Amino acid sequence: MNQFSFHPNPECGTASAPVPFPLPAGKRFTLLELIVVMTVMVLAASMAVAVFRGESPARKIEKAGLEFEEFCARVRFQALESGEDRLVVISPETRVFRMKIPEEFQPKEGEEVFTDDGSKPAEIEWTLPENFSFGENLDQLGEEIADDGTVELFRFFPDGSASGKRKLEFRYGDLLRTFEISTLTGRVTKTDGDESEK
């Protein structure tokens, strides 16, 4: 509904200045809600532009990199929220990254784990997009593959720090993107390269 109404002025036959209707109690938006709405609008606009223009190789590898960073940020948040270590593992066969609870933090048999709001923890995973490949450092894993077919990539700690000796490389065509973990801050850092230069 329009928040303004125009009342005719009987003396001059014209409309008077708009009079705002007060918003009903409880209908005002919070700052957080406005930020969320604006963020969604910006993302929707960006996606629409990408659809109309088509994605270049550089744009595709940038998008995949952002998705991977978001995935790692969610795993890191789980470590902070739970007060326990969390792992980022990869299944080379399926190209799926997922969060894994280390053996020493696994719940006991018959014990269920719940988050602060009373719900069960959600599965966190991300799949490398089609036509992407891994770098040479994941070609030969040998004894590093666990019984469940996964390889530990990064470990996040409850204090926000992390560990991870392995670099992760994405390849798309001639483009290369390398990810490393900052042990101090737990943030994922990235560098770009060109396969033709190697």
Task: Choose the weakest-confidence range: 42-46, 90-94, 159-163, 170-174.
Answer: 42-46
pLDDT at 104: 84
Round to whole Å and give the CA distance between 170 and 177: 5
- The answer to whether the beta carbons of residues 86 and 79 sit under 8 Å apart is yes
Per-residue model confidence as pLDDT tens digits over 24-83? 555 677 887 788 788 888 878 876 765 656 678 888 999 999 999 999 999 999 999 889
Kindly report the three-state secondary structure assignment for every residue of the chain: CCCEECCECCCCCCECCCEECCCCCCCCCCHHHHHHHHHHHHHHHHHHHHHHHCCCHHHHHHHHHHHHHHHHHHHHHHHHHHCCCEEEEEECCCCEEEEECCHHHCCCCCCCCCCCCCCCCCCCEEECCCCCEECHHHCCCHHHCCCCCCEEEEEECCCCCEECCCCEEEEECCEEEEEEECCCCCCEEEEEEEHHHC
- In sequence order, what are the residues at sequence separation of 6 or more whose Cβ sits closer than 8 angstroms to the Cβ of residue 60? 129, 172
Looking at residue 5, what is its pLDDT?
Answer: 47
Task: Average the pLDDT over each of 5-14, 33-42, 51-60, 107-116 and give the range with the smallest value.
Answer: 5-14
Query: Going from the N-terminus, what domains does the chain have, and what CATH number goes with each?
Result: 31-197 (3.55.40.10)
pLDDT digits over 89-100, tens only? 998 889 999 999
